[in-house]
Amino acid sequence: MNKVLDELPELLLIGGGGHCHSCIDVIEAESKFRIAGIVNHTECKSDSVLGYKVLGNDSNLSELLKKYQMALVTVGQIKNPNLRIKLYSTLKDKGAYLPIIISPQAYVSPHAEIKEGTIIMHGAIINAGSTIGKNCIINTSALVEHDVAIGDNSHISTKSVVNGGTIICKNTFIGSSTVTKENITIGMNSVVGAGLSVMCNLPAETFLKNNKN
Protein backbone atom coordinates (compact mmCIF):
# COMPACT_ATOMS: atom_id res chain seq x y z
CA MET A 1 0.00 0.00 0.00
CA ASN A 2 1.08 3.62 -0.58
CA LYS A 3 1.87 4.99 2.88
CA VAL A 4 1.43 8.63 1.81
CA LEU A 5 -1.95 7.85 0.24
CA ASP A 6 -3.06 5.98 3.35
CA GLU A 7 -2.39 9.07 5.48
CA LEU A 8 -4.64 11.35 3.40
CA PRO A 9 -8.14 12.17 4.74
CA GLU A 10 -10.85 9.91 3.36
CA LEU A 11 -13.52 11.35 1.10
CA LEU A 12 -16.89 9.76 0.34
CA LEU A 13 -18.30 10.44 -3.14
CA ILE A 14 -22.07 10.78 -3.48
CA GLY A 15 -23.12 9.69 -6.98
CA GLY A 16 -21.38 7.28 -9.32
CA GLY A 17 -22.28 8.42 -12.87
CA GLY A 18 -20.31 10.17 -15.58
CA HIS A 19 -19.63 13.33 -13.59
CA CYS A 20 -18.24 11.17 -10.80
CA HIS A 21 -15.69 9.76 -13.27
CA SER A 22 -14.41 13.28 -13.97
CA CYS A 23 -14.39 14.13 -10.27
CA ILE A 24 -12.33 11.04 -9.48
CA ASP A 25 -9.73 12.11 -12.03
CA VAL A 26 -9.46 15.57 -10.44
CA ILE A 27 -9.33 14.21 -6.88
CA GLU A 28 -6.59 11.76 -7.81
CA ALA A 29 -4.60 14.53 -9.51
CA GLU A 30 -4.97 16.92 -6.58
CA SER A 31 -3.67 14.24 -4.15
CA LYS A 32 -5.19 15.87 -1.06
CA PHE A 33 -7.81 13.22 -0.34
CA ARG A 34 -8.12 9.45 -0.50
CA ILE A 35 -11.38 8.27 -2.05
CA ALA A 36 -13.08 6.01 0.49
CA GLY A 37 -15.73 4.79 -1.93
CA ILE A 38 -18.95 5.67 -3.69
CA VAL A 39 -22.55 6.04 -2.55
CA ASN A 40 -24.71 5.34 -5.59
CA HIS A 41 -28.43 5.46 -6.31
CA THR A 42 -30.52 2.46 -5.30
CA GLU A 43 -31.10 1.21 -8.86
CA CYS A 44 -27.37 0.94 -9.64
CA LYS A 45 -26.13 -2.64 -9.76
CA SER A 46 -22.42 -1.89 -10.23
CA ASP A 47 -20.12 -2.76 -7.33
CA SER A 48 -17.35 -0.32 -8.29
CA VAL A 49 -16.67 2.94 -10.13
CA LEU A 50 -13.24 3.29 -11.77
CA GLY A 51 -11.92 0.77 -9.29
CA TYR A 52 -13.45 2.38 -6.19
CA LYS A 53 -15.92 0.27 -4.26
CA VAL A 54 -19.60 1.18 -4.14
CA LEU A 55 -20.17 1.19 -0.37
CA GLY A 56 -23.93 1.54 -0.46
CA ASN A 57 -26.85 3.66 -1.60
CA ASP A 58 -28.95 6.48 -0.20
CA SER A 59 -30.38 4.25 2.51
CA ASN A 60 -26.87 3.60 3.87
CA LEU A 61 -25.74 7.22 3.87
CA SER A 62 -26.40 7.98 7.55
CA GLU A 63 -24.43 4.94 8.65
CA LEU A 64 -21.55 5.65 6.27
CA LEU A 65 -21.25 9.24 7.49
CA LYS A 66 -20.59 7.94 11.00
CA LYS A 67 -17.37 6.47 9.61
CA TYR A 68 -16.50 9.04 6.93
CA GLN A 69 -16.81 12.68 7.96
CA MET A 70 -15.91 14.17 4.55
CA ALA A 71 -18.06 13.91 1.42
CA LEU A 72 -18.52 15.46 -2.01
CA VAL A 73 -21.61 15.55 -4.22
CA THR A 74 -20.49 13.93 -7.50
CA VAL A 75 -23.86 13.90 -9.25
CA GLY A 76 -23.87 16.02 -12.41
CA GLN A 77 -26.24 18.86 -13.26
CA ILE A 78 -27.85 19.66 -16.61
CA LYS A 79 -31.64 19.86 -16.53
CA ASN A 80 -31.87 21.22 -12.99
CA PRO A 81 -29.84 21.29 -9.76
CA ASN A 82 -32.50 19.71 -7.54
CA LEU A 83 -30.73 16.42 -6.82
CA ARG A 84 -27.41 18.14 -6.11
CA ILE A 85 -29.16 20.57 -3.77
CA LYS A 86 -30.95 17.74 -1.97
CA LEU A 87 -27.77 15.72 -1.52
CA TYR A 88 -25.78 18.74 -0.38
CA SER A 89 -28.46 19.66 2.17
CA THR A 90 -28.62 16.07 3.43
CA LEU A 91 -24.85 15.95 3.91
CA LYS A 92 -24.86 19.27 5.80
CA ASP A 93 -27.77 18.18 7.99
CA LYS A 94 -25.83 15.04 8.91
CA GLY A 95 -22.75 17.02 9.86
CA ALA A 96 -20.52 16.13 6.93
CA TYR A 97 -17.64 18.37 5.91
CA LEU A 98 -17.63 19.22 2.19
CA PRO A 99 -14.18 20.24 0.95
CA ILE A 100 -13.24 22.40 -2.01
CA ILE A 101 -11.64 20.39 -4.82
CA ILE A 102 -9.32 22.20 -7.24
CA SER A 103 -7.50 20.49 -10.08
CA PRO A 104 -3.75 21.18 -10.12
CA GLN A 105 -4.27 21.83 -13.84
CA ALA A 106 -6.67 24.72 -13.07
CA TYR A 107 -5.74 28.30 -12.16
CA VAL A 108 -7.53 29.96 -9.27
CA SER A 109 -6.42 33.48 -8.41
CA PRO A 110 -5.37 33.98 -4.78
CA HIS A 111 -7.77 36.94 -4.90
CA ALA A 112 -10.77 34.72 -5.74
CA GLU A 113 -13.06 33.00 -3.23
CA ILE A 114 -14.28 29.41 -3.62
CA LYS A 115 -16.88 28.07 -1.21
CA GLU A 116 -17.42 24.60 0.21
CA GLY A 117 -18.47 21.60 -1.83
CA THR A 118 -17.37 23.16 -5.13
CA ILE A 119 -15.13 21.44 -7.67
CA ILE A 120 -12.87 23.25 -10.14
CA MET A 121 -12.06 20.89 -13.02
CA HIS A 122 -8.98 20.54 -15.23
CA GLY A 123 -8.03 23.62 -17.25
CA ALA A 124 -10.52 25.97 -15.62
CA ILE A 125 -9.48 29.56 -14.84
CA ILE A 126 -10.93 31.66 -12.01
CA ASN A 127 -9.62 35.20 -12.13
CA ALA A 128 -9.15 37.84 -9.43
CA GLY A 129 -12.10 39.20 -7.49
CA SER A 130 -14.45 36.37 -8.42
CA THR A 131 -16.59 34.42 -5.96
CA ILE A 132 -17.82 30.89 -6.59
CA GLY A 133 -20.65 29.72 -4.33
CA LYS A 134 -21.26 26.46 -2.54
CA ASN A 135 -21.85 23.12 -4.28
CA CYS A 136 -20.86 24.42 -7.73
CA ILE A 137 -19.24 22.75 -10.73
CA ILE A 138 -16.73 24.80 -12.73
CA ASN A 139 -16.15 22.36 -15.52
CA THR A 140 -13.22 21.56 -17.78
CA SER A 141 -11.59 24.59 -19.47
CA ALA A 142 -14.26 27.04 -18.29
CA LEU A 143 -13.13 30.67 -17.92
CA VAL A 144 -14.53 32.77 -15.09
CA GLU A 145 -13.15 36.27 -15.55
CA HIS A 146 -12.45 38.96 -12.94
CA ASP A 147 -15.09 40.09 -10.43
CA VAL A 148 -17.68 37.49 -11.39
CA ALA A 149 -20.16 36.20 -8.80
CA ILE A 150 -21.55 32.70 -9.27
CA GLY A 151 -24.32 31.61 -6.93
CA ASP A 152 -24.64 28.35 -5.02
CA ASN A 153 -25.52 25.12 -6.84
CA SER A 154 -24.56 26.41 -10.28
CA HIS A 155 -22.80 24.57 -13.12
CA ILE A 156 -20.51 26.42 -15.51
CA SER A 157 -19.97 23.93 -18.31
CA THR A 158 -16.97 23.01 -20.41
CA LYS A 159 -15.23 25.81 -22.36
CA SER A 160 -17.82 28.39 -21.35
CA VAL A 161 -16.69 32.00 -20.81
CA VAL A 162 -18.18 34.15 -18.06
CA ASN A 163 -16.87 37.64 -18.70
CA GLY A 164 -15.88 40.20 -16.09
CA GLY A 165 -18.41 41.53 -13.62
CA THR A 166 -21.14 39.05 -14.58
CA ILE A 167 -23.49 37.85 -11.84
CA ILE A 168 -24.87 34.34 -12.22
CA CYS A 169 -27.51 33.76 -9.58
CA LYS A 170 -27.91 30.50 -7.72
CA ASN A 171 -29.12 27.19 -9.17
CA THR A 172 -28.16 28.14 -12.74
CA PHE A 173 -26.71 26.08 -15.58
CA ILE A 174 -24.50 27.59 -18.28
CA GLY A 175 -23.96 25.28 -21.26
CA SER A 176 -20.72 24.33 -22.98
CA SER A 177 -18.98 27.03 -25.05
CA THR A 178 -21.52 29.67 -24.08
CA VAL A 179 -20.18 33.23 -23.65
CA THR A 180 -21.69 35.90 -21.44
CA LYS A 181 -21.22 39.65 -22.03
CA GLU A 182 -19.49 41.49 -19.20
CA ASN A 183 -21.46 43.05 -16.33
CA ILE A 184 -24.78 41.31 -16.95
CA THR A 185 -26.94 39.37 -14.50
CA ILE A 186 -28.46 35.94 -15.13
CA GLY A 187 -31.32 35.28 -12.75
CA MET A 188 -31.64 32.29 -10.45
CA ASN A 189 -32.88 28.88 -11.59
CA SER A 190 -31.97 29.60 -15.20
CA VAL A 191 -30.76 27.21 -17.91
CA VAL A 192 -28.65 28.60 -20.75
CA GLY A 193 -27.93 26.06 -23.48
CA ALA A 194 -24.65 25.30 -25.22
CA GLY A 195 -22.93 27.57 -27.71
CA LEU A 196 -24.90 30.74 -27.03
CA SER A 197 -23.86 34.38 -26.68
CA VAL A 198 -25.71 36.05 -23.81
CA MET A 199 -25.61 39.81 -24.36
CA CYS A 200 -28.15 41.16 -21.87
CA ASN A 201 -29.63 40.56 -18.43
CA LEU A 202 -31.82 37.49 -18.05
CA PRO A 203 -34.66 37.23 -15.51
CA ALA A 204 -34.99 34.36 -13.07
CA GLU A 205 -36.07 30.99 -14.45
CA THR A 206 -35.01 31.80 -18.01
CA PHE A 207 -34.62 28.84 -20.36
CA LEU A 208 -32.51 29.53 -23.44
CA LYS A 209 -31.90 26.84 -26.03
CA ASN A 210 -29.60 26.83 -29.04
CA ASN A 211 -31.99 25.98 -31.88
CA LYS A 212 -29.11 24.75 -34.01
CA ASN A 213 -28.55 21.81 -31.63
How buried is 49 (Cβ within 10 angstroms: 0-12 exposed, 13-18 middle, 19+ buried)? buried
Assess whether pLDDT exceeds 50 at residue 37: yes
Assess whether pLDDT exceeds 50 at residue 65: yes
Q: When comparing pLDDT for 79 and 96, which is higher?
A: 96
Could you tell me the pLDDT band of residue 2, with boundaries at 50, 70 and 90?
low
Provide the pLDDT for residue 1: 45
Q: What is the mean pLDDT of the chain?
A: 93
DSSP 37-74: EEEE-TT---SEETTEEEEEEGGGHHHHHHH--BEEE-
Q: When comparing pLDDT for 21 and 42, which is higher?
A: 21
Could you tell me the pLDDT band of residue 210, with boundaries at 50, 70 and 90?
confident
CB 54 within 8 A of CB 70: no
Provide the pLDDT for residue 5: 64
Q: Which of helix, strand or coil describes residue 129?
A: coil
- In the DSSP assignment, the letter for residue 24 is H
Q: When comparing pLDDT for 129 and 2, which is higher?
A: 129
Q: Which of helix, strand or coil describes residue 130?
A: coil
In this predicted model, what pLDDT tens digit does every residue of 123-172 receive, in sequence order?
A: 999 999 999 999 999 999 999 999 999 999 999 999 999 999 999 999 99
In this predicted model, what pLDDT tens digit does every residue of 80-91 receive, in sequence order?
A: 899 999 999 999
Mean pLDDT of 188-199: 97
In this predicted model, what pLDDT tens digit does every residue of 168-184 receive, in sequence order?
A: 999 999 999 999 999 99
In whole angstroms, give the CA distance from residue 98 to residue 68: 11
Assess whether pLDDT exceeds 70 at residue 56: yes
Could you tell me what percent of the chain has a pLDDT over 70? 94
Query: For residue 187, which amino acid is it?
Result: G
DSSP 73-120: E----SS-SHHHHHHHHHHHHTT-B---EE-TTSEE-TT-EE-TT-EE
Assess whether pLDDT exceeds 70 at residue 77: yes
